[in-house]
Amino acid sequence: MPAYKSLVVVVLILASLPYSESFDYGDALSKSLLYFEAQRSGRLPHSQRVKWRDDSALLDGLEEEVDLVGGYYDAGDNVKFGLPMAYTITLLSWSVVEYGDEIGGAGELDMALEAIKWGTDYFIKAHPQPHVLWAQVGDGDTDHLCWQRPEDMTTSRRAYKVDEENPGSEVAAETAAAMAAASIVFSVTKPHYSRLLLEHATQLFEFGDKFRGRYDESIPVVKEYYPSASGYKDELLWAALWLYRATHNLTYFNYAIQNGESFGGTTWAIAEFSWDIKYAGLQAIAAMLPMGGRSEEENKVLKQYRSKAEFYICACLNMNNSTNVKRSPGGLLYTRRWNNLQYVSNGLLVLTAYSDHLRWTKQSLECDAGVVGWHEILSFVKSQTDYILGANPMGVSYLVGVEPSYPKRVHHRGASAVPFRDSKVFVGCMQGYHSWLLRQAPNPNVLVGALVGGPDLNDRFRDSRFNFAQTEACTYNTASLVGVLAKLNIIAPTVSTSNQSLSNK
Ligand SMILES: *[C@@H]1O[C@H](CO)[C@@H](O)[C@H](O)[C@H]1NC(C)=O
Ligand SMILES: *[C@@H]1O[C@H](CO)[C@@H](O)[C@H](O)[C@H]1NC(C)=O
Ligand SMILES: *[C@@H]1O[C@H](CO)[C@@H](O)[C@H](O)[C@H]1NC(C)=O
Ligand SMILES: *[C@@H]1O[C@H](CO)[C@@H](O)[C@H](O)[C@H]1NC(C)=O
How many helices (H) and strands (E) are present in the chain, helices listed first? Answer: 18, 7
pLDDT of residue 15: 47
Q: State whether the beta carbon of 368 lies less than 6 angstroms from ligand 3.
A: yes
Rounded distance from Cα 251 to ligand 1 centre (Å): 6
Give dist(CA 195, CA 180) in Å, integer: 9
Closest atom, ligand 1, to C-alpha of 250: 1
Dihedral angle sign, alpha carbons of residues 366, 350, 198, 164: negative
Q: State whether the beta carbon of 321 lies less than 6 angstroms from ligand 2.
A: yes
Rounded distance from Cα 68 to ligand 1 centre (Å): 30
Nearest alpha carbon to residue 311 among 345, 347, 338: 347
Q: State whether the beta carbon of 311 lies less than 6 angstroms from ligand 2.
A: yes
With b for 16 or more beta-carbon neighbours within 10 A and e for fewer, the 44-60 pattern comes to eeeeeebebbbebbeeb
| pLDDT (tens place) for every residue of the chain, 505 residues total | 344 445 545 555 554 444 446 799 999 999 999 999 999 999 999 999 999 999 999 999 999 999 999 999 999 999 999 999 999 999 999 999 999 999 999 999 999 999 999 999 999 999 999 999 999 999 999 999 999 999 999 999 999 999 999 999 999 999 999 999 999 999 999 999 999 999 999 999 999 999 999 999 999 999 999 999 999 999 999 999 999 999 999 999 999 999 999 999 999 999 999 999 999 999 999 999 999 999 999 999 999 999 999 999 999 999 999 899 999 999 999 999 999 999 999 999 999 999 999 999 999 999 999 999 999 999 999 999 999 999 999 999 999 999 999 999 999 999 999 999 999 999 899 999 999 999 999 999 999 999 999 999 999 999 999 999 999 999 999 999 999 999 999 986 544 333 333 333 2
Sequence-distant (6+) residues with CB within 8 A of 8 are none
Q: State whether the beta carbon of 369 lies less than 6 angstroms from ligand 2.
A: no
Q: Output the residue whose Cα is nearest ligand 3's atom 2.
A: 321
Which among 367, 372, 377 is the best mutation to test ligand 2's pocket, defined by most ligand atoms within 8 Å of the CB? 367
Inter-CA distances, 224 with 139, 160, 166, 210, 221, Å = 10, 15, 19, 26, 7
Q: State whether the beta carbon of 501 lies less than 6 angstroms from ligand 4.
A: yes
CATH of domain 3-491: 1.50.10.10
Closest atom, ligand 3, to C-alpha of 321: 1
pLDDT of residue 468: 96
Dihedral angle sign, alpha carbons of residues 310, 311, 317, 320: positive
Dihedral angle sign, alpha carbons of residues 125, 131, 135, 137: negative
Per the DSSP assignment, residues forming a β-bridge with 57 are none
Global confidence as pTM: 0.91
pLDDT of residue 22: 75
pLDDT of residue 226: 97
Q: State whether the beta carbon of 47 lies less than 6 angstroms from ligand 2.
A: no
Q: Output the residue whose Cα is nearest ligand 1's atom 14.
A: 249
Domain map of the chain by residue range?
3-491
Calculate the dihedral angle through the C-alpha atoms of 103, 106, 111, 117, rounding to the nearest 10 degrees: 10
Rounded distance from Cα 403 to ligand 4 centre (Å): 15
Closest atom, ligand 4, to C-alpha of 496: 14
pLDDT of residue 60: 98
Among the bound ligands, name the one nearest to the CA of residue 314.
2
pLDDT of residue 14: 53
Among the bound ligands, name the one nearest to the CA of residue 255.
1
Q: State whether the beta carbon of 499 lies less than 6 angstroms from ligand 4.
A: yes
Which among 279, 306, 311 is the best mutation to test ligand 2's pocket, defined by most ligand atoms within 8 Å of the CB? 311
Which among 183, 249, 252 is the best mutation to test ligand 1's pocket, defined by most ligand atoms within 8 Å of the CB? 249
Q: What lines the ligand 1 site, CB under 6 Å? A: 202, 249, 251
pLDDT of residue 13: 52
Contact (Cβ atoms closer than 8 angstroms) between residue 473 and residue 72: no
Sequence-distant (6+) residues with CB within 8 A of 254 are none
pLDDT of residue 42: 98
Rounded distance from Cα 314 to ligand 2 centre (Å): 7
Contact (Cβ atoms closer than 8 angstroms) between residue 298 and residue 266: no
Catalytic residues: 77, 411, 463, 472
Q: State whether the beta carbon of 503 lies less than 6 angstroms from ligand 2.
A: no
Closest atom, ligand 2, to C-alpha of 367: 5
Per the DSSP assignment, residues forming a β-bridge with 137 are 80, 159
